[in-house]
Chains A and B, each alone.
Chain A
Amino acid sequence: MSKEELFKKLSEAVIASDSQAVVDAAKQVIEKGIDPVEAIEKGLSKGAIAVGEKFDKMEIFLTGLMMAADAMKAGMDILLPHISKEKIVRKGTVVSGTVKGDIHDIGKNILVALFQANGFDVYDLGTDVSTSKFIEEAEKVNADIITLSALMSSTIGGQKDVIDYLKETGKRKNFIVMVGGGPTTREWVEEIGADGWAETATEAIKLASELIEKKK
């Protein structure tokens, strides 16, 4: 199988959410001495971008998206150990979770899957996450971005709490803070002083990349 054929196989296997096929193709990349960085860019990432677009158009649904993210991760696990640290280009590190008192996770899961599929390192803290946990984890993994999800009008106050905590402990400038979820609006983002908000997860990924670039 030629290099181009292997890249195509990687891309198609991510789109098909076929983790085993991704692993097999990634192993062949290593066995044949093909540049794993190129395999990520022209294979896995290409597939991941296509998956994101399909989800945006509702041609695939959440299950397909999450399984594709798993397939992407399986491929990365094979390829990354063969890339020297200097050559590993990740788009950014994200700490993600649903705020204190809120146990809804579907919106956050979509975001996490899309971040993973688009080459971000993501630390998913789950739901009902305490204010200090977001910050501790972000410091521990040297995160670029903290994303705060909330589904209820009664829980979005938790997003403000994280931002206030960062401000009052002198850490606000260390992280980009993005918020999202059903009851959040642009006006709310301005009120609490978040750095970014998007109506959909796809838009959030684009915005995250822009915010990281801007911060550099």
Chain B
Amino acid sequence: MVTFLDVVERALTGKPCSEREYDLKIFSTKLMEKVKEYDIKYDPETLVPSDNSLADDIFKAAIDFYCEVGTYCKDTERIIKFDENEIKEKLKTAPSKLTFGEGTDVGTMVPRKPEDKTLPWCFCGAGGVAVSSEHIFSKLVENYARIPIANSITTPSLTKVNGIRIRPESPLEILGAIRTVVLGREALRRGGRPGLPIMNSISTADSAIALIAGLHPEFGLRPTDCYMIATLAELKTNFDLLNRACTLMSLSLPIASLYGPIYGGYCGGPEGTAVATVAYHLMGALVYQAGWHLAFPIHIKYIASSMPELLWVASVYAQAISRNTHLLSLYFNYTAAGPCTEMCLYEIAAQHTSAITSGVSMETGGIAGGKREDYLTPIEPRFTAEVAHAAAGLKREDANELVKKLLPKYVDKIANPPLGMKHQECCDFDTGKPSQKCWDIYNKVKRELTDLGLEFK
């Protein structure tokens, strides 16, 4: 059994290697070799493939690949490696269910399979996207709590404390992290669901020290919330991230690991991105001892994941994981378009139909590329969760047809998408409730999706 201390020891004693060599000669080269060896091919006509052998080949390629390349530790400039037996043992012993929340909002996250009717875990909210004020933060979270099928909440990030822009690893980041926790918990109480788990725990904390500060029980986080640790592209970690894992493990807090393999980056094309996404799950389970996993494969140029190649990646990675493991995996999307636009909802529908039908659960993604402050409303997470419930049980073949009908509605606009409206432009200041215009767009797109065969529950 690989323990966390083994991981730390391997970070100190593994093969020394420069980062550039790891990126270009190890990660990239081996990934292309595995794609070729396993004959993995992207088919633009079949974005949600029904071919089980493709998913299984991607899984086998990912195990082979990860055995050979391991995880790069930037601080020690060494490679942390695992052998096949260690990987397989970890996959066997990884949790097959996890329970989160309190009171009437207790829920259990379970694994799903392709075409599974089991409802996905709905992780609703801001996906960590930034907001400019504590007021918008609170109104958003309050309204996320009012999404009836939300199983857990992801809060926005604060970029300012008392009007001062946060700087990393500074007292401002610590104050921001603490404030995120306090405001998030209070907003859920105001929204009438104080027991809902916050599963991105401290979105404003980008450093271990800020995370640790926000963990103090005084501020309101609970062991039934969840705590995320990022990875670095591609397949990398560092001491700051390992420090977070060390702290969370020592407190017996549930850990999730995040993966954003980059299409067009060192992963290459869709095939490499798919194999890398699966390999990241192995890294998360072994390096961070993560109990569940969040993947967001993303385009290098457009900071979105709604293009055909990435819909395929979402589907095949999800099938590879769900067919071959009981790992708890969630898919996170990035839309090019912003809130209160039809395009944003089409993108969400295509992305989550691909992933949910293929056997994973969901988190609401980064809207408008997740890069613009305040481009968030409670509509997008509600819509995402409803699509996810509707897509559960769909045949992959039907999902493929649906996705192909949605693509022409937005694909030509990805390079220049409509930005939509900021929260303050389309939500009521006092209540945070979206305007009628937002609801009209939401209802129109839902009607269209119903006509295309998606049955909203």
What is A's interface to B at a CB cutoff of 8 Å? Answer: 56, 58, 61-63, 66-67, 100-104, 106, 110, 152-155, 157-158, 160-161, 182-185, 200
A104 to B369, CA, bound (A): 17
**Which B277-302 residues have C-beta < 8 A from chain A?**
300-301
With A106-B233, A183-B371 already in contact, the answer to whether A63 and B166 are too (CB < 8 A) is no
In the complex, which residues of chain A have a beta carbon less than 8 angstroms from the beta carbon of B169?
A: 101
Query: In the complex, which of the residues B168, B266, B373 contacts A63, with contact meaning CB atoms closer than 8 Å?
Result: B266
Distance, CA A63 to CA B300, complexed state (A): 12
Contact of B373 among A61, A153, A160, A161 (CB under 8 A): A153
B371 near A185 with CB under 8 A, answer yes
Contact at B303–A101, with CB atoms within 8 Å?
Answer: no
- B173 adjacent to chain A (CB < 8 Å): yes
Q: Do A61 and B265 touch across chains, with their CB atoms under 8 A apart?
A: yes
Counting CB contacts under 8 A, is B232 at the interface?
yes
Q: Which of A102, A106, A110: most chain B Cβ within 10 A?
A: A106
Contact check, B204 vs A154: say whether CB atoms are below 8 A apart: yes
Inter-subunit contact B264/A157 (CB<8 Å)? no
Which chain B residues lie closer than 8 Å to A103 at the CB level? 74, 232, 238, 240
Cβ–Cβ < 8 Å partners of A63 in chain B = 23-24, 28, 266, 268
Which residue numbers of B lie inside 8 Å of A, CB to CB? 23-24, 28, 74, 130, 157, 159, 165-169, 173, 176, 204, 206-207, 232-233, 238, 240, 262, 264-269, 300-301, 303, 369-373
Please, how many angstroms separate the alpha-carbon atoms of A152 and B207 in the complex? Answer: 12
Q: Is the CB of A62 within 8 A of B371?
A: no
Pairwise interchain contact A62-B300, C-beta atoms closer than 8 A: yes
Q: Which of A56, A100, A160, A184 contacts B168 (CB 8 A)?
A: A100
Which chain A residues border B204 with CB–CB below 8 Å? Answer: 154
Q: Are B168 and A66 in contact (CB under 8 A)?
A: no
8 extra interchain contacts, Cβ-Cβ under 8 A, other than A58-B264, A154-B159, A154-B167? A61-B264, A61-B265, A101-B167, A101-B207, A104-B232, A154-B176, A157-B167, A185-B371
* A62-B300, A103-B232 given; A154·B371 CB < 8 A: no
Question: What is the bound-complex CA distance between A110 and B268, given in angstroms?
Answer: 14
Task: Enumerate 27 A-B pairs (CB-CB under 8 Å) in ascending A order.
Answer: A61-B265, A61-B267, A62-B262, A62-B264, A62-B266, A63-B268, A100-B168, A103-B74, A103-B238, A104-B232, A153-B159, A154-B157, A154-B166, A154-B167, A154-B168, A154-B173, A154-B204, A154-B206, A155-B167, A155-B168, A157-B166, A161-B167, A182-B303, A182-B369, A182-B371, A185-B371, A185-B372
Do B303 and A200 touch across chains, with their CB atoms under 8 A apart? no
Min distance, Cβ A111 to any Cβ of chain B, angstroms: 12
Known: A62-B264, A153-B159, A154-B157. Contact between A183 and B168, CB under 8 A?
no
B268, chain A: closest CB distance, angstroms:
5
What distance in Å separates the Cβ of B42 from its nearest Cβ neighbour in chain A? 12
Q: Which residues of A contact B166 (CB under 8 A)?
A: 154, 157
Report A200 CB to chain B, min CB distance, Å. 6
The prevalent SS among residues of A at the interface is loop
Residues of B close to A58: CB separation below 8 A: 264, 301
In the complex, what residues of A have CB within 8 A of residue B206's CB? 101, 152, 154-155
State A154–B238 Cα separation when bound (angstroms): 18
**How far in angstroms is the closest Cβ of chain A from B428?**
24
Q: Which residue of A lies closest to B207 (CB)?
A: A101
Describe B's contact surface by its main secondary structure.
loop
- Report the Cα distance A102→B176, complex, angstroms: 17
User: Given A100-B168, A158-B167, A200–B301 Cβ distance below 8 Å?
Assistant: yes
Which residue of chain A is the closest to B273 with respect to CB atoms?
Answer: A61
In the complex, the answer to whether B165 meets A102 with C-beta atoms within 8 Å is: no
Q: Which residue of B lies closest to A154 (CB)?
A: B206
Q: Once bound together, how far apart are the Cα atoms of A155 and B370, in whole Å?
A: 15
Complex: how many Å from CA A63 to CA B276? 15
A17 — nearest CB in chain B belongs to which residue?
B24
Are A66's CB and B24's CB within 8 A? yes
- Minimum CB–CB distance from B277 to chain A (whole Å) comes to 16
Return the 8 tightest CB-CB contacts between A and B, nearest first: A101-B168, A153-B130, A63-B28, A157-B165, A62-B265, A61-B268, A154-B206, A183-B371
State in angstroms the CA–CA spacing of A101 and B165 once bound together: 14
Q: Which of B159, B168, B265, B373 has the most CB of A within 10 A?
A: B168
- Complex CA distance for A110 and B266, rounded to whole angstroms: 11
Q: Compute how far the CA of A100 lies from the CA of B167 in the bound complex, rounded to whole angstroms.
A: 9
Report the minimum CB–CB distance from B405 to chain A (whole Å): 24
Bound state CA distance, A100 and B169, in angstroms? 10
Residue of A nearest to B233 (CB): A106
Kindly provide the distance from the CB of B291 to the nearest chain A CB, expressed in whole angstroms.
Answer: 25
Q: How far is the CA of A61 from the CA of B234 in the complex (A)?
A: 14
Q: How far is the CB of A54 from chain B (nearest CB, A)?
A: 11
Quick one: which of A56, A62, A100 has the most chain B CB within 10 A?
Answer: A62
Query: A158 to chain B: which residues have CB within 8 Å?
Result: 167-168
A168 CA / B410 CA spacing, docked (Å): 46
Report A-chain residues with C-beta under 8 Å of the C-beta of B168: 100-102, 152, 154-155, 158
A160 to B207, CA, bound (A): 20
Contacts of B207 in A (CB 8 A): 101
On chain B, the residues within 8 Å of A182 by CB distance are 303, 369-371
Q: Are B24 and A67 in contact (CB under 8 A)?
A: yes
Rounded to whole angstroms, the CA-CA distance of A127 and B317 in the bound complex is 30
How close is A102's CB to chain B, nearest CB, in angstroms?
7
| A103-B157 Cα distance, complex, nearest whole Å | 19
Residues of B within 8 A of A110 (CB): 300
- The answer to whether B130 touches A183 (Cβ under 8 A) is yes
A87 CB, min distance to chain B CBs, angstroms: 32
Measured CA separation A66–B19 after assembly (Å): 13
- A57, closest chain B residue (CB): B301
